[in-house]
A = this chain, B = another copy of it.
Amino acid sequence: MNNNLNIANNVLSAIKAITSKTTLPLSEPVFAGNEAIYLKECIDSTFVSSVGKFVDDFERNLEEYTGAKHAISVVNGTSALHIALKVAGISSGDEVLIPALSFIASANAVAYCNGTPHFIDSDEATMGVDVDKLKDYLTFSTEQRSGFCINKRTNKAIKAIMPVHTFGHPVRIDNLIDLTNKHNIKVIEDAAESIGSFYKGKHTGTFGLMGALSFNGNKTITTGGGGAILTNDASLASLVKHLTTTAKKAHRWEFIHDEIGFNYRMPNINAALGCAQLECISQKIESKRMLFERYSSKFNTFKDLILFNEPVNCKSNYWLQTIILKKDNIQLRDKILQVTNDASIYTRPAWQTLNSQKPFQNSPSMDLSCAESLYKRIINIPSSTNI
């Protein structure tokens, strides 16, 4: 027990050694650009709501930065996931593969479509989908029927997969897409945590049919609350825009809505913040990558844990810096969380795996031993760009 406390104190000292600050939030935004100027412009123009120049600019700038042909901004990352699933055709009874090691929004988005999340395991190398394990699982647990991938146990169609680029680290998305193509499973990338993360030189969220970004306050760039859908498909982009704007048909004055739509459009005032943030994204990511190096110099002597390094072929945004306890050291986790948070050095564990969350305890899943082990061993440490 005393040894646990010693190690926890050493972790605290390692974090504190890289900065003169005495309080470190987990991930706070930094506004060092044109944020206040653009907000003032919004007020002066009176365009603060769902139509305005900043919404258009933000979408065009996201397209330029990510390389996606189309970006559609929305109120938050959850709504981005929801609409992407909807547009991908997920409806009542459909199953969607999602990593058990993810934020609840991944599973909720499937539930909003009346679909069922089907949980899959992660690997140690990426903290995201274990592609090799998934390959075996799909081979043994599913069969093709009428062009659909059928879960042999539930007899339902597995229509999509939402891989998460966990804490900003890309999964092996090319291998994953090769695999799921063979099984007729659509890929929607949950890139909520990975703006600024590239796999083999290409931005995350642009490999699958669609990708979802988040600009929550704790993300790499923020719009207050916000998200976006990325896609290279013009007709999907058009459908996303239609569904996020109450499915209202173009008419000079009549209100005609041709399907059940949503009020998910990002307001101009939030997009104004996004424009200013996006102008500074390269510096932000450079800071986050340097922060990894600074932490690395302190943590490389620890025997009981590793500091997570970006996987091969990846240039990660290091959204949240992550330490992972070795497998025989899980008892350290709560002690480290306690010692650091008590000292106003804010840290947090990974999310409890989704299969253990009350609303999803009866959802189908594969063996989740790695995700469950990672949950017990992951600690995110302060990751702001201004540390």
Point out residues on A near B: beta carbons under 8 Å. 28-31, 35-36, 39-40, 43-44, 46-51, 75-79, 103-105, 108, 111-112, 114, 216-218, 222, 224-225, 246-248, 252-263, 265-270, 273, 337, 341, 347-349, 351-352, 357-359
In whole angstroms, how far apart are the Cα atoms of A253 and B347 in the complex?
Answer: 8
A29-B50 CB under 8 A given contacts A36-B40, A337-B253, A341-B253: no
Q: Which of B28, B43, B49, B273 contacts A216 (CB 8 A)?
A: B49
A176 to chain B, nearest CB (A): 25
Residues of B within 8 A of A104 (CB): 246-248, 255, 257, 261
Closest to A379 in B: B253
How far apart are the CA atoms of A90 and B258 in the complex, in Å? 24
> Which residue among A30, A47, A104, A359 has the maximum number of chain B CB atoms within 10 Å of its CB?
A104
Not counting A50-B225, A224-B268, a sample of 9 additional A-B residue pairs whose C-beta atoms are within 8 angstroms of each other reads A50-B217, A76-B263, A104-B257, A224-B269, A225-B263, A253-B348, A256-B352, A258-B358, A270-B270
Question: CA–CA, A103 to B256, complex, Å?
Answer: 10
Q: Are A217 and B48 closer than 8 Å at their CB atoms?
A: yes
Partner of A257, one of B29, B255, B266, B359: B359
Q: In the bound complex, do residue B225 and residue A75 qualify as a contact, i.e. CB atoms below 8 Å apart?
A: yes
Contact A35 B43 (CB under 8 A): yes
Asked, given contacts A43-B39, A261-B108, whether A349 binds B224 with beta carbons under 8 Å apart, the answer is no
- Which 3 A-B pairs have CB atoms at the shortest separation, nearest pair first? A49-B217, A224-B267, A78-B263
Q: Are B103 and A262 in contact (CB under 8 A)?
A: no
Tell which of B105, B270, B337 touches A267, judged by Cβ atoms closer than 8 Å.
B270
- When distances are taken between beta carbons in the complex, the residues of chain B under 8 Å from A44 are 31
Residues of chain B within 8 A (CB-CB) of A40 are: 36, 39-40
Question: Given A29-B48, A77-B263, A257-B359, does the pair A246, B108 have CB atoms closer than 8 Å?
Answer: yes
A217 and B78 in contact, given A48-B222, A352-B254 (Cβ under 8 angstroms): no
Q: Answer whether A217 and B267 are a contact pair too, CB < 8 Å, given A36-B39, A46-B30.
A: yes
The distance in angstroms between the C-alpha atoms of A261 and B111, with both chains bound, is 10
